[in-house]
Amino acid sequence: MDKRLKASVENWEKNVLNPALSRFPERREKFVTSSDIPVERIYLPQYEDASEYLEKLGLPGEYPFTRGVQPTMYRSRFWTMRQYAGYATAEESNQRYHLLLKSGARGLSVAFDLPTQIGYDADDPMAVGEVGKVGVSICSIRDMERLFEGIPLDQVSTSMTINAPATILLALYIAVAKRQGVSPEKLRGTVQNDILKEYIARGTYIFPPKPSMRLITDLFAYCNQYVPKWNTISISGYHIREAGCTAVQEVAFTLANGIAYVQAAIDAGLKVDEFGSQLSFFFNAHNQFLEEVAKFRAARRLWAKIMRERFGATNEKSMALRFHTQTGGSTLTAQQPENNIVRVTIQALAAVFGGTQSLHTNSMDEALALPTEHAVQIALRTQQIIAYESGVADTVDPLAGSYVIEALTDEIEKRATAYIQQIDDMGGALAAIESGFINDEINNAAYEYQRALERKEQIVVGVNEFRTEGTDESSMEILRVDPAIEQERRQQLAQLRAERDNERVVEILGRIESAARTNENLMPLFIEAVEREVTVGEICRVLRDVFGEYQPNVSI
């Protein structure tokens, strides 16, 4: 800050600010973000000259990508408008997908039920009571065909939220595309495939870390050669944030996991620029609008530096952090659920101002149940109104130059970098997970947030303040999954096992078992297996026998 500006500020504080504060004390003693970053009363220019500006911000579409990964951003093409959907049977979910596409969605996001997520078929004893409840039940290629019936897979981008058995679900998607006559090189989409955050925050793991990382790098290598338009991983901060971490922790822990995946791929013999452009990220969007916008900008800049300076990437596409955003599920309230429409709008705006490539907006009823068609349509319309009516997509990085945005961007980057260094000193993300460090940090942040709610230092409208009698969830229509679906799925699996060639099933499962004991890439075998109508659970059972199951350290 130059001497003239500094003198002006000091004069303002003495003659204008202090007298005002004596008459009108500020309503809180301390103003901070969710990451405990102080929010200053006033922000002033942060950059002394053009070289410092270009080093920190750059230009859109150029390193370090602070201002966006494309030079034209939404002036050329809006973000992909997705709605995460899937429940009950493949047929019912297929109907929801057609509704969404008819309503203007540009991409599909598949939610799988819990048995599918942890590698059990619907007729497994471990699946009792959970079939079709939190997502769609997918066991075989027949299910996957029904899920995408009437949807040409070369004309839609599909995201699949699946992690431990991600290789198998992608194999099913590729096999269905082939049956449609669509070659793998034409497929576009993302498979989440992020096992580290399962150990941290979500819990739908199957195998121990080492074989899990092997499956991930197998998928990297296969897609690099055969499915080049596919995003091979969606490194997810979303679920870490849902578990209670701050915005700074979301950036730090997500990028630390990203570092671990990149290093694992390099250790497996891949070159960073062979797979770097197929990496993608998945972030949360919460209510503190300014911090959320800055979070996305800081994450882009930090990842660009990591890829170039740490891993030696030379292709700028490998350095560009592309990400999907979902609005914050944990911010939704069962009390006065219509208020969630407003929350989601604020969060979606933060994602757009932050430069997201893809966006899912939560439905107002998701604190209560899976969303109804009516609620889903409102959530999608929220994105469309932002895109077509608000004008915020008309210019690239519209908040750049805002003193508060730039200051918060710098501070989030600084604090996230310190966390990453601390994790490096422990031996990397996996060591930090196994030691309990990351979980402890998240738990402490969640505890402090809950204390702030109880003390009313943090207000949630309709929950701890501004309550209104008679405006709770009792008036909402709720989507309920028919429990009879479980028996229906059992019958379908019995029919499949009776009709398929079981000798060929045994033969391919034997080859998978043998290959799993070597370094052979398993993806081609998985595709061959699902084409022979081998189920997800059958493949996972073989892998469990070879790899074992992950048993977390539990301390009380």
Q: What is the 3-state secondary structure (H, E, C) of 101-132?
A: HHCCCCEEEEEECHHHHCCCCCCCHHHCCCCC
- Residue 556: is its pLDDT beyond 60? no
Whether 201 and 441 have beta carbons less than 8 Å apart is answered as no
Average pLDDT over residues 6-33: 85
- Determine the average pLDDT of the residues in 21-34: 86
In this prediction, residues 509-515 reach a mean pLDDT of 98
Distance CA 190, CA 193 (A): 9
**pLDDT above 80 (res 50):** no
Percentage of residues in the chain having pLDDT higher than 90:
83
Q: Under a CB-based contact definition with an 8 Å cutoff, are residues 92 and 81 in contact?
A: no
Residue 296: alpha-carbon gap to chain centroid? 13
Task: Give the model confidence (pLDDT) of 385-406 as tens digits.
Answer: 999 999 999 999 999 999 999 9
CA–CA separation, 192 and 234 (whole Å) = 4
C-alpha 258/C-alpha 236 separation (Å) is 9
Residues 387 and 54 sit within 8 Å (Cβ to Cβ): no
Tell me what pLDDT residue 51 has: 81
What b/e string do you get for 11-41 counting C-beta neighbours within 10 Å, with b at 16 or more?
eeeeeeeeeeeeeeeeeeeeeebbbebeeee
For residue 85, the model assigns a pLDDT of 84
Asked whether the beta carbons of 493 and 140 are under 8 A apart, the reply is yes
Q: Structure tokens of 535? A: 């189920």
Superfamily of domain 52-475: Methylmalonyl-CoA mutase (3.20.20.240)
CA distance 176 to 173: 5
Q: What is the pLDDT of residue 506?
A: 98
DSSP-based three-state secondary structure for 550: coil
Of 4-18, 252-266, 386-400, 430-444, which gets the smallest average pLDDT? 4-18
* Residues contacting 64, CB < 8 A, separation 6+: 55, 56, 58, 300, 301, 304, 305, 319
pLDDT at 56: 87
Rounded Cα–Cα distance for residues 505 and 538 (Å): 9
pLDDT band for position 477 (cuts 50, 70, 90): confident
Largest CA-CA distance found in the chain, in angstroms, rounded: 89
Under 8 Å between Cβ of 192 and 162: yes
Helix (H, G, I), strand (E, B) or coil at 98: helix
In the block, tokens 């079939």 appear at 131
Here the tokens at position 189 are 């989409």
Indicate the pLDDT class of residue 470, thresholds 50, 70 and 90: low
Helices 502-516 and 536-547 cross at an angle (nearest 10°) of: 30
CA distance 484 to 288: 42
Q: pLDDT at position 395, please?
A: 92
pLDDT, the chain, mean:
93
Whose structure tokens read 């060591």? 431
Average pLDDT over residues 402-424: 97
Nearest one of 385, 370, 288 to 331, comparing CA atoms: 288
pLDDT band, very low/low/confident/very high, at 523 (cuts 50, 70, 90): very high
Query: Per-residue pLDDT tens for 275-292?
Result: 999 999 999 999 999 999
Please, what is the Cα angle at 223 between 218 and 229, to 5 degrees? 155
- What ranges do the domains of the chain cover? 52-475
Q: Is the pLDDT of residue 251 over 60?
A: yes
Are 533 and 505 in contact, with CB atoms under 8 Å apart?
yes
Ramachandran assignment for 222, one of left (phi > 0), alpha (psi -120 to 50 degrees), beta (any other)? alpha
d(CA 123, CA 491): 9
pLDDT in tens, 163-212: 999 999 999 999 999 999 999 999 999 999 999 999 999 899 999 999 99
Structure-model confidence comparison of residues 29 and 507, the more confident one: 507
**Rounded distance between C-alpha atoms, residue 527 and residue 474, angstroms:** 47
- Per-residue pLDDT at 471: 55
pLDDT classification of 296: cutoffs 50, 70, 90: very high
